A and B are shown apart, each in its own frame.
Chain A
Amino acid sequence: MSEQSVEEGNGRSSSWLRRIWNTTSVPVGAVLLAALIGAAILAISGANPLDAYAALIKGSFGDSAAVGRTLEKATPLIFSGLAVAFAFKAGLFNIGAQGQLLVGAIVAAYVGFSIEGLPAIIHAPLALIAGAAAGAIYGAFPGALKTYTGANEVITTIMLNYVAINLTDYLADGPWKDTTPGNVVARTPKIFDSAAIPFVGDIPIGFFIALLMAVITWWLLYKTTIGFEIRTVGLNPHAAKYAGIKVAFTVILTMTLSGLLAGMGGSIETQGIVGRYQPGFNANLGFDGITVALLGKTHPFGVIPAALLIGAMKAGSSQMQFSADVAKEITDVIMAFILFFVAADMIIRWILRTRAAEGEKITLSTGWGK
């Protein structure tokens, strides 16, 4: 106690710096330690860690095209990360971001290729909103099931992921299949240019939409009554009910908005990157959202650097595979250790002798939707 008051007496600038140090030391330390472990694994398996990391960094930040690639990879992860983090705030574990994202992606594609002649200013937002709405409906479903039948959202969202995979496969290989002569693969036609979300130079505009959504999510969670109710339900549904919060409504709303975020991520992937829906192109974006949300400590602003970090590793891993001949799965190993060290922050705090910032400890798992 006394030590703390002395520090505060040192003036504002030093306590400000200390606060930054306190919040950034753990993630930075975690990345460094994880990179060291990754290097050890690379060295043991006969690769040169320095070459591998040099290629990884070059591929993700080396030039403006590489930075663009990093942002491109990070964009859907921001959305799926926000989706999972948002549901966590209400104590819900949305493993179904993957399915919601797929449904959003294919519906955005449908609006993109089926409507011709609209001006871009209407068409692109229309496709984006359609995809987001599809994701929202797909997310609302497990929320409603939980509320009205008690079916656990962990199970139903897992199951709905597989349903979404089958459904989108069917659409892309059936009624919505690309009928261009010569096409044999399952995919939708290319969307019209008017529905595309363009790039500014190397930077996808979708990235800015993602940032905007992070701000909106933060605002909704921390500056509105609904956000307060969502967080209260997450902390203690019984107390929330006692306080007059409509828990059932809040659960459905949270899952709907979570699905909306994931669906929007799918839309942006279709409209900004792929240009159509093709099965397999969006694999794991939703699951990676779980990692992003956890790495970002389930805070909307934590999700952004987490998505950038994972996006950078994804962007650079091809370069690493190509020029250093290192299998790109090593980035998964590094990612696992980053997550480990961020969550087990006591290890790094012990090494660096820093103290935890107020209320920084994260707890999500108080059981399956109690």
Chain B
Amino acid sequence: METTTSIPIWKRIWDRLGILGAIIILVLIGIVVSFIQNQQVTTAVLSSTIRQSTPLVLGALCGLIGERTGIINIGIEGQMLMAAFIGYLANVYIGQLGVFSVGMTLFLAALIGIATGALLGLLLAFMSVTLKMDQIIGGTVINILAIGITGYFYQVGLTTQGKLQPIALGRLADIPLVGPVLFDNPPITYITLILVVVVHYMLFYTRWGLRSRAVGEYPSAADTVGINVYLMRYVNTTIAGGFAGLAGVFLTLEAVGSFERLMTNGRGFVALAVMIFGKWTPFGAWGAALLFGFATAMQTQFQFMGNLTIPHQFIGMLPYLLTIVVLAGFVGRSRPPAAEGIPYEKE
């Protein structure tokens, strides 16, 4: 006890949080300062940050659940695209039945979209576990398949009864800045924030999480203690697919409200980057996604303000350059799960 008390409290906090804590504090100070200067813009940029980051967080969660269990998933883009499409079609056709309310229709459509993502996750598991196919090829198959199927069955002129609307959380939504940014969002945005915490808890504090990580790091050891490596990989990749499905559904049922060809526009790949950036942890991915979302929001804001001397393409590069700079400057080397990408052969 003597030794603990002799260390000053600020030092203990610093040791605990380190450079990350310092960055968070700086960001918070920055937000407060900018809020004092311009309330409206700050609120708009931060709300947009949350919106932009949502599909990326979900995609990254999909990626990391799979990779923690040893399955590389570069098919997130395809899973998102297909789920966005099927979820949208479900919204259209269930709506046409006229049996359910708008809210119920959207809920069912979202479930169908999530199931679509999960189904593609199952396909990825089948390819990489049962067929022992190269996992990068497996993901690429999903990506091309999704582009092909959504493009082939795409129809113009479909109408829906609406999209998911923001739900204000009572008094909380009235708090300046924090309220509109955090407590006045559509449902999938809330769910995403909850999922980050849930996945973190599940991955690091439950038996399932420990087993998953064991399978991803050292499958033969996991096998000897009686963990079913194949089953674990199947289950996790399928669940993870559901996360990508939710990301896709976010696009068609919450953000945009309709489907366009190739509308995921590389978000699945950016999510992959966000996952690696966040060092395969949910909170890390969330932070990386927020950074990316913030840069995207700033870009929109700059364009909105107009009369800028910088060409808009340079502002368009901002999120991507920022990611590279931060990655090269602060994050550096990251270590993927050891057994990822290697099909497991039972001895």
Contacts and interface: CB of A to CB of B under 8 A. Distances in A.
A166 B127 contact: no
Given A151-B328, A154-B272, A166-B316, A332 B151 contact: yes
A156 B269 CA distance: 11
B148 A159 contact: no
Nearest to B70: A367
Interface string A159-192: 1111100110110011000000000000000000
Interface string B225-239: 000000000000000
Contacts, number: 157
Nearest to B334: A152
A250 B188 CA distance: 45
A115 interface: no
Residue among A159, A329, A335 with the highest chain B CB neighbour number at 10 A: A159
Interface string B96-132: 0000000000000000000000000000000100011
B326 to A, nearest CB: 9
A45 interface: yes
Contact of B140 (A154, A162, A290): A290
B313 A167 contact: yes
A331 interface: yes
A367 B316 contact: no
A155 interface: yes
B141 A155 contact: no
Most B CB contacts (10 A, CB to CB) among A161, A166, A170, A331 go to A166
Given A330-B148, A347-B131, A365-B136, A159 B324 contact: yes
Interface in B130-158: 131-138, 140-142, 144-145, 147-154
B201 interface: no
B305 to A, nearest CB: 18
Contacts of B147: 329, 332
Given A163-B321, A336-B141, A368-B336, A151 B152 contact: no
B277 interface: yes
Given A159-B320, A365-B72, A365-B341, A336 B145 contact: yes
Contacts of B270: 158
B320 to A, nearest CB: 4
A68 B99 CA distance: 55
B140 A294 contact: yes
A333 B135 contact: no
A362 B133 CA distance: 9
Interface stretch (A9-17, A301-309, A338-346): A338-346
Contact of B135 (A160, A170, A365): A365
Interface in B267-322: 269-270, 272-273, 276-277, 311, 313-314, 316-317, 319-321
B332 interface: yes
Interface of B: 72, 127, 131-138, 140-142, 144-145, 147-154, 266, 269-270, 272-273, 276-277, 311, 313-314, 316-317, 319-321, 323-324, 327-329, 331-334, 336-338, 340-342
23 contacts: A150-B332, A152-B334, A155-B272, A156-B328, A159-B320, A160-B320, A161-B266, A162-B266, A170-B314, A290-B140, A327-B154, A331-B148, A332-B144, A333-B145, A336-B148, A339-B144, A344-B127, A363-B341, A363-B342, A365-B136, A366-B341, A367-B336, A367-B341
